[in-house]
Chain A
């Protein structure tokens, strides 16, 4: 197994590195990705972003409007899902909250559909399909809402 093992190991290293290069690094060199500029967030909005990450909101909410649902998808009103997501939307995000499962509505343009008081009430008290977060300190809740209001 000695020679075979060395060959297997070399192949795996090469394959994984090539896979990473092809699926992570090279797309990052795409002009549309490189041209994007990060929007500046205030300290409160940054904190809200951190609350979003800490509470795992991305487990149920995407921030990704797919091309097939652009200007077509519906949350409350027809077409209110908005334009399709472009790489520029995620510029500078660390981490990027694209999401993978949509149990709750997509939040890409939530600020265009909901007011601060509505968002605060939903997060604090929940609604059918959405758990409540009564344990969130008021400052964290305000910061989270401040972050969500940047999504438009």
Chain B
């Protein structure tokens, strides 16, 4: 049993992380759909303690970020990181240990949040044992990634992005969740509110987005034979993403109860984040120049591109909402939810694209159904087209009502109820799409056509 769990079989950890991400994605989008349903129809499952809306929202966030996104992206990142070395990863057993720790943490976090054992913080919900397991796993992943990359003498901004993500996550967890004091939240008052904002910004801009950007650029270059970013520009994007991402948290508090200078700092950083994100998007597009035919052959490439576009759009929406004028209407409203769907949905699309593109290189089998991938893609596009405008419009409606100062709050709630159905539709479509991904992946693992050994290697990324 132990030999199986901590096998040194090449790419086993990557493969298992992909499987984990596919399954956790089903749970994550199911909870997102439940939460969205409860916003539109508050009596849905209201009598069940584990399904109370607050617990559902907390569990959905935890499942989405740590379960779905992290597992898929880590699986892709480990495969990419190990590509430069003929031996593969520096240590598959340690990477597998990280996998099991991560999954145990996810199961416990899901269970405990549902029964009401939480830290009570909006984005640091899971209780401290879960956080410690995640911290241990993230340190193992950093150790494996670092030692693997040190054997590869190349200078690749995509790999630098991955290393940045693996390095940042343990720090974000320790600082954002106060894990240096594991039995109790060490932060009080406004400092705790700012720490929560730092955690949220860190998990998105310092963990999920660097991983997504890194695997996206690497896989696009490997498939098209064209690296989209010059080395200098690529490393500048790494510096910008990490530098501004670490400062963007307080943008959530414009007009709020924190010192004015830190609101300004956060807002400026949130706006400047658009530069490295635009650089990454440009790099993705330039990789595809001259190879648009490849997009028709590999729908996973479309997922990568669509994901980067959505990510940039969501970041732009968040930056806009943190400006002094627009924040009067957009801050604290469903506009933020619409942007969240774009940002995290964009990262999710990149993660899904990676899973599809890496199937022959990780599972050693050709994807069973490209048709199912196209269907997943169209479901995702329709979901965004329905859900995002509905949420953004709902947010503007809320803000407009609040700005009058003469309309009772309850009237604003009633006005946006029909639009919340759009948010529910998005979540349901995304859940169905995730089901297609999981089904396709497991069908491939079970009965996919084996791929010759030479084709299992990723094409070398041109310098």
Contact = CB atoms under 8 A, between A and B. Distances in A.
Interface of A: 1-2, 4-5, 8-9, 11-13, 15-20, 22-28, 30, 32-33, 36, 38, 50, 52-60, 62, 64, 66-69, 72-76, 78-79, 84-87, 89-96, 98-105, 126, 128-135
B156 A1 contact: yes
B163 interface: yes
B389 interface: no
Contact of A130 (B42, B118, B257): B42
A90 B189 CA distance: 5
Contact of B42 (A2, A68, A126): A126
Given A2-B153, A13-B171, A66-B255, A58 B334 contact: no
Given A18-B246, A74-B405, 11 more contacts: A16-B171, A23-B194, A24-B195, A52-B120, A55-B55, A56-B56, A56-B118, A96-B188, A101-B337, A131-B46, A134-B47
B304 interface: no
B406 to A, nearest CB: 6
Given A16-B168, A56-B52, A102 B332 contact: yes
Interface string B95-127: 000000000000000000000111111100000
Given A23-B266, A28-B190, A32-B259, A103 B413 contact: yes
Contacts of A76: 408-410
A69 to B, nearest CB: 7
Given A85-B257, A98-B193, A103-B413, A54 B238 contact: no
B197 interface: yes
B197 A12 contact: no
Contact of B150 (A5, A19, A64, A129): A5
Interface of B: 38-39, 42-44, 46-49, 52-58, 84, 116-122, 146, 149-150, 152-156, 159-160, 163-164, 167-168, 171-172, 175, 185, 187-198, 202, 206, 238-239, 242-243, 245-247, 249-250, 252-259, 262, 265-266, 328, 331-334, 336-337, 398, 402, 404-410, 413-414, 417
A58 B153 CA distance: 49
- B58, B159, B175, B332: most-surrounded residue (chain A CB, <10 A): B332
B191 A33 contact: yes
B198 A60 contact: no
B152 A87 contact: no
Contacts of B193: 90, 96, 98
A9 B44 CA distance: 47
Contacts of A32: 259
B314 to A, nearest CB: 15
Given A13-B167, A133-B52, A100 B262 contact: no
A126 B188 contact: no
- A5, A52, A89: most-surrounded residue (chain B CB, <10 A): A5
28 contacts: A1-B84, A2-B149, A15-B243, A16-B175, A19-B198, A20-B246, A22-B262, A22-B265, A24-B191, A24-B195, A54-B54, A54-B55, A54-B116, A55-B116, A57-B54, A66-B254, A75-B409, A76-B408, A76-B409, A90-B257, A96-B187, A96-B192, A98-B253, A99-B122, A101-B334, A131-B43, A132-B47, A133-B46
Contact of B146 (A5, A78, A128, A131): A5
A60 to B, nearest CB: 7
Contacts of B265: 22-23
A87 B122 contact: no
A133 B172 CA distance: 34
Nearest to A24: B194
A127 B6 CA distance: 52
A1 B151 CA distance: 7
Nearest to A12: B167
Contacts of A91: 188-189
Contact of A93 (B172, B189, B255): B189
A13 B171 CA distance: 8
A102 B402 CA distance: 11
B252 A100 contact: yes
B255 A16 contact: no
A85 B53 contact: no
Given A98-B257, A101-B332, A72 B190 contact: no
A108 B166 CA distance: 39
Nearest to A26: B262
B235 to A, nearest CB: 8
A132 B246 CA distance: 39
- B39, B150, B194: most-surrounded residue (chain A CB, <10 A): B194
Contacts of B46: 126, 131-134
- A17, A86, A102: most-surrounded residue (chain B CB, <10 A): A102
- A60, A96, A101: most-surrounded residue (chain B CB, <10 A): A96
Given A23-B247, A74-B408, A126-B43, A16 B190 contact: no
Nearest to A6: B150
Contacts of A87: 189-190, 257-259
- B39, B152, B172, B256: most-surrounded residue (chain A CB, <10 A): B256
Given A1-B156, A94-B187, A59 B246 contact: no
Contacts of A103: 39, 334, 413
Contacts of B153: 1-2
A62 to B, nearest CB: 6
